[in-house]
Amino acid sequence: MYKSILKNYMNNIKTLRSFVSGVESSLLQKEEEVIKKNSMGLLPMIFAFSQLNPDKYKLSDKQIKECINIFKDQVNVVKKDEDDLTKGVSVTIKGKAGVGLNNAMKEINLQKGQINMLYQNSLINLIVFFELLISRVLHTHITKFPEIMSIKDKTLSLEDIRKLGSFEDAEKYLIDQEVEGIMYGSLDKWYKYLTDKVKITISYFQKNKELISEIFQRRNIVVHNDGIVNSIYFKNVNVDLRKDISLGDKINVDREYINKSISIIENVGILILLEMWRKAEKKSQERVDEIMGEGYTLMLDEDWSLAANLYNFCSNEISISAEDKLMSKVNYWLCMKRSGQYEILKKEIEEADFSPYNKKFQLSLLALKNEKEEFFDLLKISMPNDLSVDNLKEWPIFTEIRESEEYNKFIQEVEEPIVKVEFTNNDFLQMNSFEQVEEDIIQSAKNRRYVRKRGRKRGRVRKAISGRRNRTNR
């Protein structure tokens, strides 16, 4: 059940990202078309701005003359101080120019409003997905461990039990009430319930508590106050996160904010679920396989933050094998390096000794340390038994390696081997046709250790690196 909740949540987040990206692209293209369509209507404003700041809004002498001829007395710009614009300016656009500008701005603002609505609705949906995750995982967990409910505070009359039909139905009803009561509480109450009642540690939540709280508060004012900052937002949001915001401001939700919020909420949701799964099942090979598989997918998608959290979590699993534990550590190091945090782990990585381990891990360590000469020396004796061509081509830990000339040369030799075939006079005479000669050459090539079998699927790479297993082979 925990696995299905995890997959559903990750799919919801992935869908949300795809939705934002796809719809935004369409809306921005439409906005560009609207601006081009209304270019003449916007010209008076551009002309006025060019008079205020000619360096920023550049118009050629010819364009300026044309604007003067077209607008004449319709555009008037007055500066209170010619040398200091901060002291105030007055821009008046009237007549046909004013009407044209007004119509153009109406259409452009309508288009911009759709983009703003996309971001606001995406924020709302993000929190809905998170709330759904918490609700489902709490329901699953309390059903499994009903003793964590405050059962002494729950009472049902005989009539209630009769209506519900059975003791099992009554228990389900009480669980529903418990979860509903939690979900109606604040974010702080959720956190308190998870730490005090469920007794899990949520270090990511604690570390990012202020950011998570701000995301929830921003969602609340978008839904309940048309995005206008009120005293409730001010009270519940850390002062450092609202230092450029004043009471009564229309709060902004842009693409940068949405991307950051999705990442934070995705991380905290997944880590809460995994902690509760571990609380319910201390040992779970299914969980290990799922985490490592999802972690590998995230690395391919370059989502280094979440992948790092997953591999770090996985390395602390009780049921994890020695090989999977080492793979988790290596991939965690890679994710931290890609996130710009290599210096934090540099000493640990530099001091690591992988000589007792499979050459696959020795190569990964050399790649992390960017020791290319040693890497290629070891690579020549590692393939294909310790590392496949597909592993070399896909595993993100070898990205820098794949950018080198040595790699290109090596791959060319591996994938296009030079086959030397020797014939004695008798051998040649015994062959009936050219086709038989060709067949012998192909067979000779197949027998070479580096020839890559056709039809090999990418999934084998994923299984080798991610740790996913075929259940029948365990």
Domain that residue 99 falls in: 2-118
pTM (predicted TM-score)? 0.78
* 293/399 Cα distance (integer angstroms): 19
Which single residue is written with the structure tokens 């003359």?
65
Tens digits of residue pLDDT in 147-184: 777 655 666 666 666 666 666 776 677 777 788 888 88
Mean pLDDT of 129-149: 88
Contacts with 362 (C-beta within 8 Å, 6 or more apart), sequence order: 354, 355, 378, 382
Contacts with 63 (C-beta within 8 Å, 6 or more apart), sequence order: none
39 located within any domain:
yes
Tens digits of residue pLDDT in 43-71: 788 778 777 777 777 777 787 777 777 77
238 located within any domain:
no
Q: Where are the alpha helices (DSSP H) in 281-321?
A: 285-300, 304-314
Q: Of 77, 95, 118, at which residue does a domain stop?
A: 118
Q: Of 92, 118, 144, at which residue does a domain stop?
A: 118
Q: Where are the alpha helices (DSSP H) in 165-303?
A: 167-183, 187-192, 203-207, 209-224, 231-236, 255-280, 285-300
264 located within any domain:
no
377 located within any domain:
no
Mean pLDDT of 99-109: 85
110 located within any domain:
yes
Provide the 8-state DSSP code for 250: B
Q: Looking at the 3D structure of the chain, how many domains does it have?
A: 2
435 located within any domain:
yes
237 located within any domain:
no
450 located within any domain:
yes
Q: Is the pLDDT of residue 260 over 60?
A: yes
Q: Of 53, 87, 118, at which residue does a domain stop?
A: 118
